[in-house]
Amino acid sequence: MKRIAILGSTGSIGTQALDICRRHPDEYTVSALTARSQREKLFEQVREFRPEMAGLTEGIRPEEIPEDLRFCRWLSGKEALHAAAAEIGADQVLVSIVGIAGLQSVMDALEAGRQVLLANKEALVTGGHLVMDLAARKGITLLPVDSEHSAIFQCLQGAGPNRAEKILLTASGGPFRTWDKERIARATREEALRHPNWNMGAKITVDSASMFNKGLEIMEARWLFDMPEDRIEVVVHPESIVHSAVQFRDGAVLAQLGAPDMRVPIGYAMSYPRRMETGVAAPDLFALGKLTFEKPDPDKFPALRMARECLRASGAACTVFNSANEEANAAFLRGEITFGQIAERVDRALNRLAGLKADCLEEIWEADRLARRMQ
């Protein structure tokens, strides 16, 4: 039996991971569950999976815990995340919380010697050098859960000792793939949340529409696979069947294909190096008929250019990119700014703060604070 702690259990990734646990009760036991604020959903999960510990990062008072759930240790705030990542007995820690908060949880889990299943881009975006250094010292391989990075990881596993020449990072193109720049700048909240292929939370869906999500994934791939940014190529693939590919020295390209369903990469990370049944059907190539690939337009989607500039600048530039985007994204969702102003706000923050240092967690937190204060 593998013991798994899930940080962000009520979100899309967390609920699908629990679905896999439900399908394989003889292989997994849930030791800890945390959520931000969806207490009723978390209560139901605790009733079903009976973890040792549960917590809400937005807080919960003892009298608010239902009588039938008091067998469980309940914690609040950062204490809940730390306990789930590093204190409760677990073999695996799935970090699927959104934002820079995931960095501390990943570091805590690695320090405790836990296998990290990484569904939080920001941990590597903001602190990739620190995370990968700690993982190397602990002898732990980070197992990616993002569909693109899982695909790359799977291709690399299939290639054995052959070193990759280039990573081909696929992108759906989002809902604005065929729109012109002026129309994109005026896009509404409802239009940005209308993703053609994936069912995700609002923040990630807006990031997909702006391609800031792909900028973050370029940064993540740089650290996960030790690949310079100029050898990470973004390929727009609107069908979302090829989840990414790897090019090798001899001219071969290995690609991973699958339905646009996150249970496949989640299940692969949970069962690695095996594969398990996930309830997902393989794509029917005959029904698909064709797959298309396009070059992204960096003029329409400036996040791609900014992400590469941040990686070349090093220091706290990637932290500023992430934090400024989180704040601008939230402002757009609240109706305070236009879609086009998201990139403008991030660019302004980078012009002022990209030169900050990021040699330790404290410097990363400070860069994050300053970038948010500018918005």
Same domain for 203 and 70, yes or no, is no
63 and 198 co-located in one domain? no
Which tokens is 38 given?
């969806």
Domain boundary among 110, 141, 172: 141
Does residue 168 sit in the same domain as residue 126? no
For the segment 282-298, what is each residue's pLDDT rounded down to a tens digit? 999 999 999 999 999 99
Query: Could you tell me if residue 374 is inside a domain?
Result: no
Rounded Cα distance, 100 and 92, in Å: 20
45 pLDDT higher than 70: yes
Helix (H, G, I), strand (E, B) or coil at 324: helix
pLDDT for res 203:
87
The better pLDDT of the pair 99, 309 is held by 309
Distance between CA 122 and CA 104 in Å, rounded?
10
**pLDDT of 32 higher than 90:** yes
Instruction: Indicate if 164 and 85 belong to the same structural domain.
Output: no
The tally of domains found in the chain comes to 2
3-state SS, residue 117: strand
Residues linked to residue 143 through DSSP beta bridges, in sequence order:
117
Which domain range does residue 180 map to?
148-262+285-313
Residue 198's pLDDT band (cuts 50, 70, 90): low
336 is a domain residue: no
Closest CA to 361 of 127, 123, 138, 108: 127
Residue 271 domain-assigned (yes or no):
no
Fill in the amino acid letter for 188: T
Phi/psi at 137 (5° precision): -65, -30
Beta bridge pairs of residue 3 = 29
As a whole number of angstroms, the distance between CA 76 and CA 146 comes to: 27
Of the three residues 296, 313, 330, the one that is the final residue of a domain is 313
Tens digit of each residue's pLDDT (9 = 90 or more) over 117-138: 999 999 999 999 999 999 999 9
DSSP state of 294: B
Residue 49 maps to a domain: yes
Are both 135 and 157 inside the same structural domain? no
Same domain, 126 and 173: no
- For residue 276, give the 3-state DSSP assignment: coil
Inside any domain, residue 222? yes
In a domain, 318, yes or no: no
Report the chain's C-alpha Rg in angstroms: 20
Model pLDDT, residue 344: 97
User: Residue 370: inside a domain, yes or no?
Assistant: no
Give percent of the chain with pLDDT exceeding 90. Answer: 93
**Residues 33 and 120 grouped into a single domain:** yes
The CATH number of the domain holding residue 75 is 3.40.50.720
Residues 91 and 128 in one domain: yes
C-alpha 191/C-alpha 300 separation (Å) is 16
Within this chain, do residues 186 and 226 fall inside the same structural domain, yes or no?
Answer: yes
Return d(Cα 40, Cα 249) in angstroms, integer: 52
Q: Are residues 137 and 166 in the same domain?
A: no
- H-state helical runs in the chain: 12-23, 39-49, 77-82, 101-111, 121-138, 147-159, 181-185, 189-192, 202-210, 212-224, 263-271, 285-288, 303-313, 317-333, 340-353, 361-374
Q: What is the mean pLDDT of residues 179-206?
A: 88
353, amino acid identity: L
Give dist(CA 218, CA 228) in Å, integer.
Answer: 10
pLDDT band for position 99 (cuts 50, 70, 90): confident
Residues 167 and 128 grouped into a single domain? no
Tokens of 150: 């899982």
Name the least confident of 21-25, 156-160, 213-217: 156-160
- Do 42 and 131 lie in one domain? The reply is yes
Picking from 141, 175, 205, the residue at the C-terminal end of a domain is 141
Residue 309 lies in a domain: yes
Quick one: how many helices (H) and strands (E) in the chain? 16, 11
Q: Check residue 199 and give its pLDDT.
A: 66
